[in-house]
Amino acid sequence: MDVLTFGESMVVFSPNNNGPIRHVHTFTKSLGGAESNVATAIAKLNHSVGWFSKVSDDEFGRFVINAIKAEGVDTSRVVVDKNRNTGILFKERYQRSNPNVYYYRKDSAASSLSPEDLDEGYIKQTKILHLTGITPALSESCRKTVYRAIEIAKENNILVSFDPNIRLKLWPVEEAKKVLVDIACRADIVMPGLDEAEILLGLTDKDEVADYFLSKEAKIVAIKLGAEGCYIKDRKEGVKVHGYNVSDLIQDTAGAGDGFAAGFLAGYLEKLPLNEIGQYANGVGAMATLVQGDMEGYPYFDQLMEFIGKKQGIER
């Protein structure tokens, strides 16, 4: 298996019209979750990937498993919890901004993940363990699970990939900084946004941010720069990779950062030069913003190659 990840996936209800949610009466159901977003995007890029979590023993739980499994992701280690609910997220959309989000995930099935839920033998099968900063924010047991997973990976020479994915609606900023910086310093691959790096480290210079993590355990750092693209640096070189101009942007960038992570990991697994890894990452992230929904815009490999100009499309 190329990549393994775990964390909470929620049922997302997106409004069918703009305005305050109290005036919205119809919604479209979809799936959302940083780790499952990464997993589905990687699967579509022809890499083997597994995702696990806990879900409820009801139709919402079945929807989550079925939606992720249908994209080619291994869900064999998902735990079904008969006593807890699957998390739910409602979006509230206005014309010219990303939507507001309302979480209903407290005491969810996924928030009860514990180190005992980890299948050590399963983790040993992967090349990269991908984690985000959302899971340790959910509960103390989730935090312990993340740290135990890192230990298992390190003991077995498995690379640890980390996207801070700061969610300040889930925990106080000071607590987030302490935990997320600590996890990032243990990771081999670190993928913060430049705005996240400023929150975590108080740094705004991309080289200083990259050098900070490279002075710890990181082998490579990818700093997301939004529409400008990204900056990737390892122990040998640093490369700025320009982003792609997206003119048909849907005003909901949820899933773009996860798409970036998936593209990056796919390029990294293929041992591409830094510039090409960045093109993969920027490309998947950009394409995510062209379609409504968190994961619906992720491309298949040939679609990505056409988007980034490495393959000629056939129109008719």
Asked if residue 245 has pLDDT above 90, the reply is no
Average pLDDT over residues 115-139: 97
User: Model confidence over 65-86: pLDDT tens digits?
Assistant: 999 999 999 999 999 999 999 9
Asked if residue 248 has pLDDT above 70, the reply is no
More confident residue, 245 or 86: 86
Q: How far apart are the first and last CA of the chain?
A: 37
Assess whether 258 carries a catalytic annotation.
yes
pLDDT of residue 171: 94
User: Model confidence over 86-106: pLDDT tens digits?
Assistant: 999 999 988 666 788 899 999
User: Model confidence over 150-170: pLDDT tens digits?
Assistant: 999 999 999 999 999 999 989
Average pLDDT over residues 134-138: 97
Asked if residue 227 has pLDDT above 90, the reply is no
Asked if residue 313 has pLDDT above 70, the reply is no
pLDDT of residue 204: 94
Percent of the chain with pLDDT over 90: 86
**Which residue is catalytic, options 163, 252, 258, 294?**
258
pLDDT of residue 193: 96
For residues 6 and 131, give the distance between their C-alpha atoms in angstroms, rounded to a whole number: 7
For residues 133 and 234, give the distance between their C-alpha atoms in angstroms, rounded to a whole number: 22
Class of domain 3-307: alpha beta
The reply to whether the predicted model has a pTM over 0.85 is yes
User: Model confidence over 165-214: pLDDT tens digits?
Assistant: 999 989 999 999 999 999 999 999 999 999 999 999 999 999 999 999 99
